[in-house]
Amino acid sequence: MLLYNLRLAWHSLRRYPMLSALIIAGIALGVGVATPAITTLHVLGQDPIPQRSSVLYYVRMDSWDPVAPHPSASGIPSQITYRDMREIMKSRIPVRQTASFPAALYIYPADRNVRPSRETVRLVFSDFFPMFDVPFRYGSGWDKAADAKPEAVVVISHALNARLFGGHDSVGRTIRIADRELRVVGVLAPWRPRIRFYDLLGNATREPESIFMPFNWIEPMEIHSAGTRDGWKAMEGNPTYLESLHASETVFLQMWVELPDPARARAYHDFLDAYVREQKRFGRFQRPLDNRVTPLLDLMAEWQIVGPYFKAIAAISILFLIVASLNLIGLFLGKFLARAPVVGIRRALGASRSAIFLQHLIECELVGLIGGGLGLLMSAGVLAVMNKGFERITHIEDLFQLDAVMVLAAVLLSLAAGAIAGIYPAWRICSLPPAQHLKNQ
Amino acid sequence: MEFGPILRAAIHHRARTILIVAEVALTLAIVTNCLSLIRNLKSFLTHESGFDDDNMLSVVSEPFDVAFKEDAYQIASIDDDVRRLGAMAGVSAASTTNFLPWAGSGNSGEVKIVGGPDTRFRSQQYVADPHLFDTLGVHVIRGRTFTPQEYESSASPNNTAFSTVVTKALADRIFPGEEALGKRLENPDHTQVYTIVGIIDKFYNPFEPIDEHACFFPGRSNSYLVRAEPGKAELLVPRIERALLRANDGRNVRVRTLREVRSDYDYSYQLAVIPLNLVMILLIVVTALGIVGITSFSVAERRRQIGTRRALGATREAILRHFLLENWLVTTAGALLGLGLAVALNVGLVTLVAGAKIEWPVLAAGVALLWTVGLLATLGPALRASRVPPAIATRNV
Amino acid sequence: MKMEGVTKIYRTGLVETRALRNFSLEVEEGEFVTITGPSGSGKTTFLNVAGLLDAFDEGKYWLDGLDVSRLTDREMSRIRNEKIGFIFQSFNLIPDLDVFDNVDVPLRYRRLAAKERRERIERAVAQVGLTSRLRHLPSQLSGGQQQRVAIARVLAGDPKLILADEPTGNLDSGMAREIMDLLEEINRAGATLVMVTHNPEYAARAHRRLHIADGRLVDLERITPLPLNRRTGEARQAAAPAG
């Protein structure tokens, strides 16, 4: 019966080619607008590291000014201080943990004729690589011993390896960063998460840094953060960088911990609370106790990583599809009612109301799917244009891509559009009294 | 005069009427909200900086030579740079400052009134040399810029008293209704005191939260603002880079025109404006086509009736007027419903996008737009209706 | 088929029109009944009600022993599909479908296997002598041929009751005779035939002739033909046969 109905629908489409083209164009337009809009939400909002997101927690503490809350929406600083990081890193509760911050350092090529280049650097602990599932092409991260010392080791990005070493296995070679020679222990495979989940501050679609080096180089190399620094209390006199690191209330570190289950997360939260209560005795943390251990995905939601305008545009695009479908109600209605005599014959010959309803709804859904197919092609075009647009900001060539989920979404959207456009006309035509439209004379 | 029969006909053809009303209502709701969002975004784009954006360049020096670790070397290099930049042909002013307009980021900090209550005033805070306001093309409306002595003494490590230039907006916030000039501010730790020596007028730098509150302190930075003679900014880009590298090769130098910086800044907003515009236009087209479709069916269905009217003496104009009036009534009903929907949708969107509250002019514009679209969409089918020959009334089916 | 006091009212606004008034009738299996009457007298309404195309307002109607007033749309559709065959004056073929597909329509709603449908269609079309036109569209056929397709559509469905509404009204007399022969043949094969006609010659070929005037049924003849004029002016209402 489905095949029969599809054949009838096909007949009917070919019978009024202009009308059919108009309806199909309407649905194609609707799907072609709504699918890319949903794709942007899907791509930006999807779990960037699904295999690990449930165990990764971001640590925040309200170490801010006793007089006024932090001006951000959450009311607490987005990062932590160096001195607090040193203390809470002593906890054994997390399975893995890392503080990190971005910096900008010069690397000096062996060839004196090539100008030094400024590279993006991230200082991390060895746990960073397994915690965030960082993929390696050659070698690996460093070990805990290298963290502590710190050893003169470095992990470089695929692109930097290509630039410096022509893409060959450079493990064991050295590069000069600022005033040190560091040995390459790992080269990353190409790694371009769409959301840079380990650093969600600022533009979260930036690409990962070119260089990862042991965190503890911060002191001997006096490395300053090139990211967001936030402070409320100036220090007396003119302290050196090292002095200020250990005594300052400036927050600039992002702290991540891996906690395998909620019980551990609670235990860690208790640990933080205990630490802050102790600090309060020394006159720090004068604000009400407010420590947060936030799962990655919750943090993404809280910081609105998917920009509100994306959501607004997606909402409007879906409404657009609905209006486009509403428009088709009129066209289908006219088309179906013009066919009332034929429906009368079918009813006389034994078609039940539901059979007629089904026949016409299937016609609408067929139109919906054809329109949806065209809309999908259109979506691909729209996404290509959008990728060009976003490339300037994100430097990702193909930020948005139609994947299976999106194809499925387009199919569902077109079926929904077909249903919105078709249910009322199909119901109208099937509930016409059969006798009235039979040509009796 | 024809309202009665038209209304009754509209009620009789319920489905058709409801459809057009629903379409018009939803379209109005969406279009006005799109317009409102676009206006909101445009307000970011068209906000005046108060600076001579078109003729300025930003210059960033990124030293890698270890010699720069010495403060004295660094200071000497900066002073040399400013001198060289100021002397270049085509440059009308140059200044060292860590303030870069339209960079989308900046510095902020808090001050309080010396001896006043413990109220903190957070604002943007930048360092600059005395020439910054000349370079920006900003008018110092009261007081003065920093003196060379104030500027020189700022580098001394033991200095705790500074002068500051604040924006009018910040002055009005800290000292409402009072003369701010000569008043003293301090940092929250009471370790530094700032005397207000000058007030500048318009200032806007997109850095959250977006406001015009800023203060400037005397000081040096590794970045510079350069104001070119009109039309020469582009030409200066490679020349500045060459000149600074010739002066000191132990660094990289990045030079960009402010116009380019601003276009990058505006770009992210345009990314949102373009799809909104596109959806809005498509929506209007689709709705217009929908009205054409429904009205065409309605005309086709009523050909005989129209012929009868014509036979009974109705002029073509009367038929035309009848259909236009009918559509206008239905569109208006849709628009009224749409106003409600627009506000409802807006409430939803405002919770999503802060500050995009819909305004009456936008709603009025939306209604006017839909009236026009409705009228134009009806015109074709209505003209066709007016051309139905009276003879059709007597013809048998 | 048995009707008792069936009344059908059309309402338009405030005006009520009684299209059928207290209509009672019994047609036995295998019978050939013709119905005559002036236009607007309710013949078509009677056929619509009899064919379950139209609901009625009062009275009772049994079809093949089944009280149809309580049936759902699906059940009525099924009866129309399996037990009733319609033949219309204007043929009512589906213009987009060719002969084969037109005959196929009722079989589709019966959910028969493809093979059986094909066999039935080919047999029915052969029976009306149109095998060579199987893939023609209705517009490519003459009026008589179209009506024969409509008859083939009935034949393929093998109904117990055939309702024919002036099947020869649009045809010239030669073709009309052919159609009548076909219908009589089907009737002889066992199907009950109820036919509305204007043509007294064809009406006379029936076992029984009924006349409708102003929504009321007038029994002209019962089983044995009687001279028409005997009853003139004496129209009486047919008494419902008891039991």
Q: How far is A351 from chain C (nearest CA, A)?
A: 6
> In the prediction, which pLDDT does A394 show?
73
Q: Is the pLDDT of residue B2 over 70?
A: no
The DSSP code sequence of A369-411 is: HHHHHHHHHHHHHHHHHHHHHHHHHH--TTSS---HHHHHHHH
Contacts of B120 in chain A (CB under 8 A): 65, 67-68
Q: Under a CB-based contact definition with an 8 Å cutoff, are residues A365 and A417 in contact?
A: no
Q: Is A350 close to C89, i.e. CB distance below 8 A?
A: no
In this structure, the strands spanning B214-218 and A291-295 are unpaired
> Is the Cβ pair A323, B286 closer than 8 Å?
yes
Which of A6, A15, A16, A345 to substitute to test the interface with C, most C CBs within 10 Å?
A345
CB contact under 8 A, A33 and B282: yes
Asked if pLDDT for residue B360 goes beyond 70, the answer is yes
Contact check, Cβ <8 Å, A352/C78: yes
Q: State the Cα–Cα distance between residues C12 and A141, nearest whole angstrom.
A: 87
Question: For all residues of chain B together, what is the average pLDDT?
Answer: 86
Cβ of C81 within 8 Å of Cβ of A4? The answer is no
> Which residue in A has a C-alpha nearest to residue C80's C-alpha?
A350
In the predicted structure, residue C13 carries a pLDDT above the cut 70: no
**Nearest chain A Cα distance for residue B157, angstroms:** 7
The answer to whether B397 contacts chain A (CB < 8 Å) is no
* B residues 10-69 closer than 8 Å to A (CB): 15-16, 19-20, 22-23, 26-27, 29-30, 33-34, 37, 41, 62, 64, 66
* Partner A contacted by C44 (CB < 8 A): yes
Angle between helices C99-108 and C114-127 (to 10 degrees): 130
CB-CB under 8 Å, A346 with C81: no
pLDDT for A301 equals 86
CA distance A174 to A156: 11
Q: Judge: A326–B353 Cβ closer than 8 Å, yes or no.
A: no
Report yes or no: B281 at the A interface, CB cutoff 8 Å: no
**How many Å apart are CA A198 and CA B86, to the nearest integer?**
43
pLDDT of B301: 79
CB contact under 8 A, A389 and B271: yes
Q: What share of chain C has pLDDT > 70, as a percent? A: 88
C225 pLDDT higher than 50:
no
Cross-strand pairs, C243: none
pLDDT at B66: 80
Please tell me which of the candidates A26, A106, A319 has its beta carbon nearest to residue B30: A319
* Chain A to chain B Cβ contacts (< 8 Å): 131
Where residue C227 falls among pLDDT bands split at 50, 70, 90?
very low
The token pair that represents B214 in the structure block? 């800023």
Chains B and A touch (3+ CB pairs under 8 A): yes
Question: Does residue C76 surpass a pLDDT of 60?
Answer: yes
What residues contact B173, with CB distance under 8 A and at least 6 apart?
B121, B213
Q: Say if the Cβ atoms of B209 and A313 lie within 8 Å.
A: no
- Beta strand A136-139 with A180-188: parallel, antiparallel or unpaired? antiparallel
List A residues 132-161 in contact with B (Cβ-Cβ < 8 A): none
3-class secondary structure, A211? strand
Shortest Cα–Cα distance, C84 to chain A (Å)? 8
Lowest mean pLDDT among B377-386, C81-90, C127-136, C197-206: C197-206
Max mean pLDDT among A382-391, B109-118, C110-119 falls in C110-119
User: What tokens appear for A184 in the block?
Assistant: 């390459």
Chain length of chain B: 397
Which pLDDT does position C217 carry in this prediction?
80
Is some CB atom of chain B closer than 8 A to the CB atom of A90?
no
Task: Please tell me the distance in Å from A321's CA to the nearest CA on chain B.
Answer: 9
A441 lies within 8 A of chain C by CB: yes
pLDDT at residue B356, rounded to an integer: 66
Structure confidence at residue B7 (pLDDT)? 67
Alpha-carbon distance A348 to nearest alpha carbon in chain C (angstroms): 7
With beta carbons under 8 A apart, name residues in chain C contacting A14: none
Determine which of C45, C73, C118 to mutate to test the interface with A (most A C-beta atoms within 10 Å).
C73
A142-186 pLDDT, tens digit each: 999 999 989 999 999 999 999 999 999 999 999 999 889 999 999
Determine, for residues A313 and B279 on separate chains, whether the beta-carbon distance falls below 8 Å. yes
For the packed helices B258-301 and A308-338, what is the interaxial angle rounded to 10 degrees? 20
Residues from chain C contacting residue A335 (CB–CB below 8 Å): none
Q: What are phi and psi of B156, to 5 degrees?
A: -70, 130
pLDDT interval class at B355 (50, 70, 90):
low
On chain C, the residues whose CB falls within 8 A of the CB of A11 are: 96-97
Check B289 against A108: CB less than 8 A apart.
no
A242 in reach of chain C (CB within 8 A): no
Neighbours of chain A (3+ CB pairs under 8 A): B, C
Q: For residue B208, what pLDDT is reported?
A: 54
- CB-CB under 8 Å, C73 with A353: yes
Instruction: Name the CA dihedral angle for A295, A298, A302, A304, rounded to a multiple of 10 degrees.
Output: 120
B7: number of CA atoms within 13 Å, CB side? 6
Interchain CB contacts (distance < 8 Å): A and C: 80
* CA–CA min distance B239, chain A (Å): 19
**A3 lies within 8 A of chain C by CB:** no
Residue C236: pLDDT band with limits 50, 70, 90: very low
The two three-digit tokens of residue B92, written as one number:
């009308």
| Mean confidence (pLDDT) of chain C | 84
**Size of chain A in residues:** 441
Structure tokens belonging to residue C211 = 């006349």
Using a CB-CB cut-off of 8 Å, the residues of chain B touching A417 are none
Residue C164 has pLDDT above 50, yes or no: yes
Distance from CA of A435 to the nearest CA of C (A): 5
A15 Cβ under 8 Å from any chain C Cβ: yes
Q: What is the ipTM of this complex?
A: 0.83
Q: Return all residues near B115 (Cβ < 8 A) that are at least 6 apart.
A: none
What is each CA distance from A306 to A40, A58, A313, in whole angstroms? 9, 18, 12
A302 lies within 8 A of chain B by CB: no
Asked if residues B362 and B39 have their Cβ atoms less than 8 Å apart, the reply is yes
Chain A residues with CB inside 8 Å of C118's CB? none
Check CB contact of C8 with chain A, cutoff 8 Å.
Answer: no
**Rounded to a whole number, what is the distance in Å from the CA of C182 to chain A's nearest CA?**
20
- The Cα–Cα gap between C54 and C45 comes to 8
Residues of chain A with pLDDT under 50: 441
Would you call A440 and C78 a contact, using CB atoms and an 8 Å cutoff?
no
